[in-house]
Amino acid sequence: MPRGWYLAQGLIPLGYSSSDDEEGPCELPDGRLVCGPHGFVRCHRCCSDYSFMDELLDGEDDNDEDDNDRTDSSLPDLVAADWDHVPVYAADTGDNGLGPRRGTGRAFPTKFVPPSTATPSVLFSGHKRHMNVTRYTLPNDPRQALIRTDGACLDNGRENPKAGWAFWHGFGPSGNLLVASGRLEKKGPFGDDAPQTSNRAELRAVIAALRFRYWPGEGFRTLVVATDSEYVVEGSTNWAKRWVENGWVTRAGNAVQNRDLWEALLGEVERYQEEGMAIEFWRVSRDWNTVADAAAKGAAAEAEAPNAWAEVMGINI
């Protein structure tokens, strides 16, 4: 679409597209976004949804959609052939104290502030080996590691959505990328029935990554989670503080959506704070998150979602 069309509609074309439509989003005068080709906040033709911007501009979440809707389950050839899944096992931890716990608001993650505009691969170019697995770390601080997470939902917000999650956490002896992924369960971490949405998939990816290993045991004191989801980054570092103070009610008086996953995420942050390790979130562009993005799409395309929440734990090789 020519630039003159956008300006005639009172829209401002953006240089970076955070949606799957070819033209990318356009910014309204009030700061909200619509799809470029058709001018809709929620456009089923583009498979894009920019309603999450209402919450970013208002300062809190009251909606269950993200800018990460996906309808194409195909995996990019340039990354799909280059990763391996590190050995994992799924376990039902029951009531033995090892399962997710509800965060109480004693600790919150913070935002990672990169010292430069370098990509994650350049910035975290240090390699710290643990057994036969190598993690990405800062070159001058091997105690600070990087994990990249993503969530995807095919037909998000429609009749039969299918969500999946993934995270990329290192590489193996032959340089193969190590990725863990899975379908989003039908129940949340505390047994509640839960929908298949992109927002839940994004949160599930983070929780899976945090619970995948006992990260302080590998010598880490800071774990940086890179994600292209503003919902996750702003929710965990900004909105969650107010939600806890307000009893998990938004300013509009509505119950916070996905409370179970937010509480589980904060529970992991608290657990790690007790162990002397901090969690930081880094909002990155989707172009910098292609491996986790592709793996999440592949997981979302799997046939059936598990009924119950399961722990996914890594076994170093």
274 and 127 in a single domain? The answer is: yes
42 within a domain of the structure (yes/no): yes
What gap in Å lies between CA 120 and CA 146, rounded to an integer? Answer: 8
* Residue 307 belongs to domain with CATH number: 3.30.420.10
User: Among 29-33, 61-65, 137-141, 276-280, where is mean pLDDT lowest?
Assistant: 61-65
65 within a domain of the structure (yes/no): no
The two tokens of residue 271 are 């657990």
286 within a domain of the structure (yes/no): yes
87 and 154 in a single domain? The answer is: yes
Overall average pLDDT of the 48-69 stretch: 48
143 and 230 in a single domain? The answer is: yes
Residue 136 DSSP SS3? strand
Measure Cα distances from 136 to 148, 161, 255 in Å. 10, 33, 38
What gap in Å lies between CA 232 and CA 66, rounded to an integer? Answer: 9
What gap in Å lies between CA 230 and CA 232, rounded to an integer? Answer: 5
Of 273, 224, 233, the C-alpha closest to 104 is: 273
Q: What is the pLDDT of residues 279-308, one digit of tens each?
A: 999 999 999 999 999 999 999 998 789 999
Angle at 111 between CA 222 and CA 226, to 5 degrees: 70
> What local confidence, expressed as pLDDT, does residue 206 receive?
98
Average pLDDT, the chain: 79
131 and 169 in a single domain? The answer is: yes
145: left (phi over 0), alpha (psi -120 to 50) or beta: beta
Cβ pair 202, 209 in contact under 8 A: no
> What local confidence, expressed as pLDDT, does residue 204 receive?
98
264 and 136 in a single domain? The answer is: yes
Q: What is the pLDDT of residues 229-241, one digit of tens each?
A: 999 999 999 999 9
Overall average pLDDT of the 60-70 stretch: 44
Q: Name the residue with tokens 């920019």.
A: 50
291 within a domain of the structure (yes/no): yes
270 within a domain of the structure (yes/no): yes
114 and 189 in a single domain? The answer is: yes
157 and 18 in a single domain? The answer is: no
> What local confidence, expressed as pLDDT, does residue 16 receive?
32
What gap in Å lies between CA 205 and CA 87, rounded to an integer? Answer: 17
What gap in Å lies between CA 26 and CA 19, rounded to an integer? Answer: 11
135 and 251 in a single domain? The answer is: yes
Q: Which residues pair with 171 in a beta bridge?
A: 134, 177
123 within a domain of the structure (yes/no): yes
Containing domain of residue 33, as a range? 3-50
List CB contacts of 175: < 8 A, sequence separation 6 or more.
none
User: Among 12-21, 129-138, 298-307, where is mean pLDDT lowest?
Assistant: 12-21
Cβ pair 228, 150 in contact under 8 A: yes
Distance, C-alpha 267 to centroid of its chain: 17
182 and 262 in a single domain? The answer is: yes
55 within a domain of the structure (yes/no): no
Q: What is the pLDDT of residues 19-43, one digit of tens each?
A: 333 344 565 545 556 665 556 665 5
Cβ pair 34, 302 in contact under 8 A: no
95 and 176 in a single domain? The answer is: yes
124 and 222 in a single domain? The answer is: yes
242 within a domain of the structure (yes/no): yes
The shares of helix, strand and coil residues in the chain, as percent rounded to the nearest 5, are 25, 25, 45
If one counts the domains in the chain, the total is 2
Judged against a pLDDT cut of 50, whether residue 18 lies above it is answered with no
298 and 197 in a single domain? The answer is: yes
b/e sequence 10-47, b meaning 16+ C-beta within 10 Å: ebebbeebbbbbebbbbbbeeebbbbbbebebebeebb
